[in-house]
């Protein structure tokens, strides 16, 4: 799932490509992605002719501010990512008009296409079809979404974490507390902090929480510099890969040697998800 660095990278790329462009048409073969309005024909009618005036991120959400005071809220969910270019519909699928990263197999699951007046297109590729879009004249309500790690002081972070009853990995991934951290970065942050993912948040010392805060910022900044993590299906707007996957210390390294102590990395289940950790460095 795209997390803060991936979504922020997409937003920064999109700002360079599509601000000021006007939507001429829209296509989809997966109308269930459009959650509001429910009727795709109405969605199409309302969005055609609108100019993209602003794009911003909140947590893992992307918001397109359109002319006429419209807002297009997008959540990429598990496997969604935006692509910018030109495609031709050929033999039941969209094909990039030029060779290059857009032809990466992970960029071929095109579900929604926005056509601009200048001939360029914005596409949503989504292998699992879980992404969602909502078009509304009301600005999205993010009151239940927590601040991200760059919007909060350590003191506020400490207050949010110290009394939580759950396992620390699940607490870090709770978007109502702190937004933007998901499976990959929670594993990497906890390895760097030498804290077991099953450790209860309310049992952590202030120094341990300070380490989590510090390495949350450091690791997410590094991933932003490297344009996100493309271990799985995430790609940048031009179709290319990010490079944070080259920095993994535990995520998807089951059975490999820990970089700190050479113990074998283990994988356990936690709330239906996986957690990767070193049993020597991260003692419960």
**How many Å apart are CA 25 and CA 115, to the nearest integer?**
5
Annotation says 2 is catalytic: yes
Annotation says 50 is catalytic: no
List the catalytic residue out of 2, 5, 147, 197.
2
What the block records as the tokens of 99 is 């060779």
Beta bridge partners of 167: 200
**How many Å apart are CA 41 and CA 180, to the nearest integer?**
33
List the catalytic residue out of 21, 50, 57, 60.
60
Annotation says 3 is catalytic: yes
**How many Å apart are CA 177 and CA 172, to the nearest integer?**
8
What the block records as the tokens of 100 is 């290059």
Reduced DSSP (H G I as helix, E B as strand, rest coil) percent helix, strand, coil of the chain, to 5: 30, 25, 45
List the catalytic residue out of 101, 214, 273, 279.
273
Phi, psi of 245 (to 5 degrees): -55, -25
Given a contact cutoff of 8 angstroms between Cβ atoms, the answer to whether 185 and 242 are in contact is no
**How many Å apart are CA 72 and CA 223, to the nearest integer?**
26
46: phi > 0 → left, psi -120 to 50 → alpha, else beta; which? alpha
* Strand, coil or helix: 217: helix
State the angle between helix axes of 206-225 and 4-18 in degrees (0 to 180), rounded to the nearest 10.
Answer: 30
Burial of 2 (0-12, 13-18, 19+ CB in 10 A): buried
Given a contact cutoff of 8 angstroms between Cβ atoms, the answer to whether 206 and 158 are in contact is yes
What the block records as the tokens of 207 is 């120094």
Annotation says 273 is catalytic: yes
Catalytic residue numbers read 2-3, 60, 273
């Amino acid at each position: 799932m795209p997390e803060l660095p991936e979504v922020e990278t997409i937003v920064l790329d999109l700002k360079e490509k599509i601000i000021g462009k006007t939507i001429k048409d829209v296509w989809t073969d997966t109308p269930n992605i459009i959650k509001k309005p429910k009727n795709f024909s109405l969605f199409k009618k309302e969005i055609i002719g609108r100019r993209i005036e602003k794009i911003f991120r909140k947590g893992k959400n992307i918001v397109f501010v359109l002319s006429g005071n419209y807002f297009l809220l997008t959540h990429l969910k598990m496997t969604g990512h935006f692509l910018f270019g030109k495609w031709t519909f050929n033999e039941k699928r969209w094909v990039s008009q030029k060779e290059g990263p857009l032809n990466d197999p992970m960029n071929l699951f095109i579900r929604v296409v926005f056509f601009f007046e200048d001939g360029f297109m914005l596409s949503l590729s989504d292998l699992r079809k879980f992404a969602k879009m909502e078009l509304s004249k009301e600005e999205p309500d993010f009151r239940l979404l927590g601040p991200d790690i760059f919007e909060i002081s350590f003191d506020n972070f400490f207050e949010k974490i110290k009394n939580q009853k759950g396992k620390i990995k699940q607490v870090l991934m709770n978007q109502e507390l702190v937004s933007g951290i998901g499976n990959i970065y929670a594993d990497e942050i906890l390895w760097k902090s030498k804290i077991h993912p099953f450790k209860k948040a309310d049992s952590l010392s202030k120094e341990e929480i300070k380490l989590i805060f510090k390495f949350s910022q450091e690791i997410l900044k590094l991933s932003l510099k490297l344009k996100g993590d493309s271990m799985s299906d995430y790609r940048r707007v031009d179709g290319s890969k990010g490079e944070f996957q080259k920095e993994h210390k535990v995520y998807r390294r089951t059975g490999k040697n820990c970089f700190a102590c050479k113990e074998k990395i283990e994988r356990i289940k936690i709330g239906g998800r996986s957690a990767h950790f070193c049993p020597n460095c991260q003692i419960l």
